[in-house]
Chains A and B, each alone.
Chain A
Amino acid sequence: MSVEALRDGIRNKAFTSEEIVKFYIEKIKKEDGNINSYLTICEEKALQDARIVDEKISKGEAVGKLAGVPIAIKDNICTDGIKTTCASKMLEDFIPPYDATVVKKLKAEDAIIIGKTNMDEFAMGSSTENSAFKVTKNPHDLERVPGGSSGGSAAAVGAKLAPFSLGSDTGGSIRQPAAFCGVVGLKPTYGSVSRFGLIAFGSSLDQIGPFANNVRDCALALEVIAGTDPLDNTSSNKIGSTDYLKGIEDGVKGMKIGVPKEFFGEGLDAEIKEAILTSIEKLKSLGAEIEEISLPITDAGLSAYYVISSAEASSNLARFDGIRYGYRAKEFEDVYDLMEKSRTEAFGDEVKRRIMLGTYVLSSGYYDAYYKRALKLKKKIKEEFKEVFEKYDLIISPVSPVLPFKCGEKKNNPLEMYLADIYTVNINLAGIPGISIPCGTSKNGLPIGLQILGPHFGESKILKAAFALEGALK
């Protein structure tokens, strides 16, 4: 059942929020043992909050846009009084004393936080195998990864263990797991959703966004979480209307859509290519004008992404020193030894690798060669996308060059894992919005995702095209 149908059913007293929350909690208890999408289930608090919403409705009081509907939250988004671990031993027992702005907004619309989802440690990874606690499995094939880093949030929605969820996307961490798990996932424009309370990885790239089983639910969730926030200086004051459901049925007739030829070259799985080309034909038949374009930045963009995100990660994760909060080593000689031992014992391999890479590219002698050049390329990429969007309404591309891969398949080769992000990272460098929607399945039944990109603050346009294509592909 969709988020809208659940909300309307609760509001019209066809069923209660308590019944819905109980249903999902029972389902999680029964089925999540195989999938491992959740790290924390907030059973007691969720049921208590559901009863409050039910009471409001029975008294005829006004309720919010998401009244009584359960939502799962990625475990790097702070939730007051609920453990927020970033799937790291470093924050294993960390309980935030405040809510992230997006969580406050969800609560203001009476959504029910049902649990916190698994992820790659500190959002670093593309498979959710880097969690310190458990490996999440793809609900379509338990031997395969759900993608990452928001693999728990995507798998929970894909396995119908939550009607919708929140994730974060620094280089594809919403769109890629959405594609792998056969759900809709949206990375909004950088600056359109507050990041206050999101535990930082790459601050100039991080963005919070929703997962859902259909495009309308994604639009509704975005409507609730988007907006300027004085607590996040990078949140923009140019967002415009956040009523993303308005005109969502308008269709794609007359829209000019660019298809970058570089995204269909060597390395793209044949079945993915075929599914995307079929979708492009569908869009043509719906009245969109499709043209091939050139965006010759993919390889270098991937490098720039890993230079910048690792540099920012090394700086952001310097705060985890075992002093004020987080893991503290049991034995140490002095305060410096305490910091070094706490960090070495609590961070996982991939997090250490990124901190080291980031420190390397920022260190004296390498700063100009790597970091400064990467920043220049980031700016060039942003300009190139801007130029494209002067002529085209949207861009269409694959999300991932590969189908969901087997657990352990790429874990020991970090470069190979990084290369799988080639179609998503440039979008974060440019700061533009992108949505991943299911567009078919492989012959082995694995989901295939398609990415629709738009100009800065072009979420409405993206959602219109996604909604039209979703309908045409049914």
Chain B
Amino acid sequence: MEKVSIEDVKYIAKLSKLTFTEEEALKMASEFEAILTHFKTIDNMDLSDVDINAFDEVNTEFRKDISEVFEDKKKLMQNVKSLRDTSIQVPKIIE
């Protein structure tokens, strides 16, 4: 059984930009233990001959790197929660 502590959950939560209560973190730790234990089934496979850096089917036809103008600027910004003139308003970052 994989061991996952509440501290592990809190550390991963910080990296994920999420917050959990103690109760939620405890529940997640036990769910993670079960799931990560199942993930260990991959260890039973012999993968020594697999090279993940050898690609066989890569699309080589990229489109030209040319910028296009999105005509309707108002539409582009229609989902912004807080707009000042043409800029998105966010809390102060630099004091």
Contacts and interface: CB of A to CB of B under 8 A. Distances in A.
B88 A324 contact: yes
Interface size class of A (residues with CB under 8 A): 35 or more
Nearest to A230: B63
A379 interface: yes
Interface in B50-80: 50, 52, 57, 59, 61-63, 70, 72, 75-76, 78-80
Interface in B11-44: 12-13, 15-20, 28, 31-32, 34-36, 38-44
Residue among A300, A328, A339, A375 with max Cβ neighbours from chain B (10 Å): A300
Given A303-B41, A304-B42, A359-B12, A335 B17 contact: no
Given A300-B45, A415-B31, A233 B88 contact: no
Contacts of B18: 340, 343-344, 347, 352, 355-356
Contacts of A372: 52
Contacts of B63: 230-231, 233
Contacts of A95: 78-79
Nearest to A320: B17
Nearest to B64: A230
B59 A375 contact: no
Secondary structure dominating the interface of A: helix
A97 B72 contact: yes
A357 interface: yes
Interface string A368-391: 001011111101100000000000
Nearest to B81: A328
A414 interface: yes
A361 B36 CA distance: 9
Contact of A415 (B15, B34, B44, B80): B34
A332 interface: yes
A236 B39 contact: no
B75 A314 contact: no
B79 A334 contact: no
A340 B17 contact: yes
A336 B90 CA distance: 11
Nearest to B25: A356
A353 B31 contact: yes
A373 B47 contact: yes
A231 B62 CA distance: 9
A297 B75 CA distance: 47
Contacts of B47: 373, 376-377, 380
B29 to A, nearest CB: 10
A272 to B, nearest CB: 23
B94 to A, nearest CB: 10
B16 A355 contact: yes
Contact of A343 (B8, B17, B38, B78): B17
Interface string A314-341: 1000100111111010001111101111
Residue among B8, B43, B47, B82 with max Cβ neighbours from chain A (10 Å): B47
B65 to A, nearest CB: 12
Contacts of A367: none
User: Which 8 A-B residue pairings sit nearest by Cβ, starting from the closest?
Assistant: A325-B79, A230-B63, A97-B75, A376-B47, A376-B50, A303-B39, A328-B81, A300-B41
Interface of B: 8-9, 12-13, 15-20, 28, 31-32, 34-36, 38-45, 47, 50, 52, 57, 59, 61-63, 70, 72, 75-76, 78-82, 88, 90-93
8 contacts: A191-B59, A237-B59, A306-B35, A321-B17, A353-B31, A370-B39, A380-B47, A415-B35
Given A303-B38, A353-B31, A355-B18, 11 more contacts: A95-B78, A235-B59, A303-B42, A325-B81, A336-B17, A344-B19, A356-B16, A372-B52, A380-B50, A414-B31, A415-B38
